[in-house]
Amino acid sequence: MKRNILTLLAIVALFAACSKDETTTATDDKNITLVTDKATLNKMITYVNEPITLTGGTKATASINLVAIVPSAIVNGVKLSASSTIIRNNVAYVTYHERGNGFGGSLRAYDVTVPN
């Protein structure tokens, strides 16, 4: 359980990187966009697969594996903040929200299977 929490914490911390707005495909609803271009999707994730050892005020240390780094989502030119992350079956589901008085958000699913 503690390892899952640390992994989740590490992934959430990685979503602070900058990025450019991605290519999107409009759906029937003008307020929803769906990114389906495989080349664009592949640019959204950088696999690193590096071990990270966490040390702190306690005598015990924890080790987690940093699998990938992804940039923050951008919607209508506004950089969003990650608000929730959950990992199930090697897929990281991340929700994003717009900070401040604006209204916007995003949901992304990332395949975090370590490539060979």
At residue 43, does pLDDT exceed 60? yes
pLDDT at 68: 85
Distance of CA 42 to the CA centre of its chain: 13
pLDDT of residue 41: 76
Q: Which two tokens stand for residue 78?
A: 């506004």
User: What's the pLDDT at 36?
Assistant: 75
Helix-strand-coil percent breakdown of the chain, rounded to 5? 20, 40, 40
Average pLDDT, integer, range 52-80: 83
Q: What is the pLDDT of residue 18?
A: 44
